[in-house]
Amino acid sequence: MILLTGGAGYIGSHMLCELLEANHDVIILDNLSNSSVEAVKRVESLTNKHCTFIEGDIRDRQLLDDIFSQHSIDSVLHFAGLKAVGESAEKPLMYFENNITGSLVLLEAMKAANVKKIVFSSSATVYGDPEQLPITEDCPTSMPTNPYGYTKLAVEQMMMQLVQSDPAWSVAALRYFNPVGAHSSGMIGEDPQGVPNNLLPYIAQVSVGRRDKLSVYGNDYDTHDGTGVRDYIHVVDLAKGHLRALDYIADKTGYFVWNLGTGNGFSVLDMVKAFENASGKKIPYQVVDRREGDIAACFADPKKAAVELGWTTQKNIDDMMEDTWRWQSQNPQGYGN
Ligand code: NAD
Ligand code: WQD
């Protein structure tokens, strides 16, 4: 059985879908601080399979002890966490408490239950402003410019030292680039609360009239059209990467890091055009100042995951846009419908 923390969230719900389709038994622990249980119900109806859902917090040690004693858990997929970069700059202690303390409590409970396999949702943000492109896993990490990024680096480093202290652990840190898209059914997708921080959810909300226009944060970067370039990865490809990582660590111990990206970079304006093509909707935009903390370009070298995990992305930019459009047009208010 797999414990999936944060399984009601955007990436977690797509992960749940892949896990259930691969016939895994899954128990979700999510406090619903940024998600809806509706996502879990929809995955169950999509797959015609069931999981156990527990509404609760990864910082609740007693609850974790109960979960580990009542279920025979082999590995943990750890997605639970807060992820808004801007909010983290305003409330750093909340981010440290939730993401770092939460992960620490989880690791302590795992140790007590002798469950020593974990796949962790890390982020390309740990590379900071990259020294080289594409980014390989041996590029140096750097002190992130925001507290959210710091929590990812801190948890990675905690787990690395844990493995050094006890070689029975098996830890995979997956560094995601920019996850986008939705399940091809249109039944689950990204449903940010309030004003979206990320590019594609913002574009998608403009397309259904929830926002007037997109603000493009700067067009004077050193990129092909001056706007920021990122490595957007389809959330279903991303989830499949976790299944491969889970398989990989099943019979190995140690600390492993893999980039999960496509290796391709798209600019903000490329994204606008691709979304317009997929949706037939015009996306009005206005160029504004750069957003503080943004970098010009960031994209992965995904070779290590290809060689070691046998994983490569299958979905292209048009799939990402078509699936986002299907989800957003079928669920203009997200799960609030
Ligand atoms: P999300 O907010 O949709 O999902 C996170 C889930 O964790 C939510 O369902 C939330 O309710 C739950 N949660 C938060 N704190 C919790 C706690 N203390 N106890 C129990 N549940 C808690 O975000 P997502 O986009 O699905 O991201 C999943 C993971 O991937 C996060 O760790 C995030 O930092 C990481 N990540 C996301 C991105 C991205 O761009 N979406 C990129 C890199 C890494
Ligand atoms: C993408 C591009 C913006 C919004 C963030 C986190 C990172 C990771 C993924 C979790 C940039 C531009 C955006 C808008 C815009 N999350 N943009 N107008 O900043 O690459 O990464 O999410 O780990 O840690 O920092 O993603 O989607 O916010 O921005 O012009 O309204 O779109 O400047 O070039 P980012 P993003």
Task: Quote the distance between the C-alpha of residue 141 and its chain's center.
Answer: 19
Q: Does domain 2-336 have CATH number 3.60.20.40?
A: no
Task: Quote the distance between the C-alpha of residue 205 and its chain's center.
Answer: 20
Ligand 2, atom 23, lies closest to the CA of 123
Q: Which residues line ligand 1 (CB under 6 A)?
A: 5-6, 8-12, 29-35, 57-59, 79-83, 98, 102, 121, 123, 176, 178-179
Report the atom number in ligand 1 closest to the C-alpha of 78. Answer: 32
Neighbouring C-beta atoms of residue 36, cutoff 10 Å:
18
E strands in 45-168: 52-55, 75-78, 117-123
pLDDT tens, 107-160? 999 999 999 999 999 999 999 999 899 999 999 999 888 999 999 999 999 999
pLDDT of residue 327: 97
Cα gap 237→159, rounded to integer Å: 25
CB contact at 8 A, 122 and 288: no
Annotated catalytic, 10? Answer: no
DSSP H or E stretch at residue 302: none
Could you tell me if the CB of 264 is within 6 A of ligand 2? Answer: no
Of the candidates 10, 95, 127, 148, the residue annotated as catalytic is 148
Token representation of residue 206 = 């403009």
Residue found under tokens 């015009």: 282
Ligand 1, atom 9, lies closest to the CA of 9
Domain ranges within the chain, ordered by starting residue: 2-336
CB contact at 8 A, 29 and 253: no
Q: Please give the angle made by the CA atoms of 16, 18 and 20, to the nearest 5 degrees.
A: 65
pLDDT tens, 171-222? 999 999 999 999 999 999 999 999 999 999 999 999 999 999 999 999 999 9
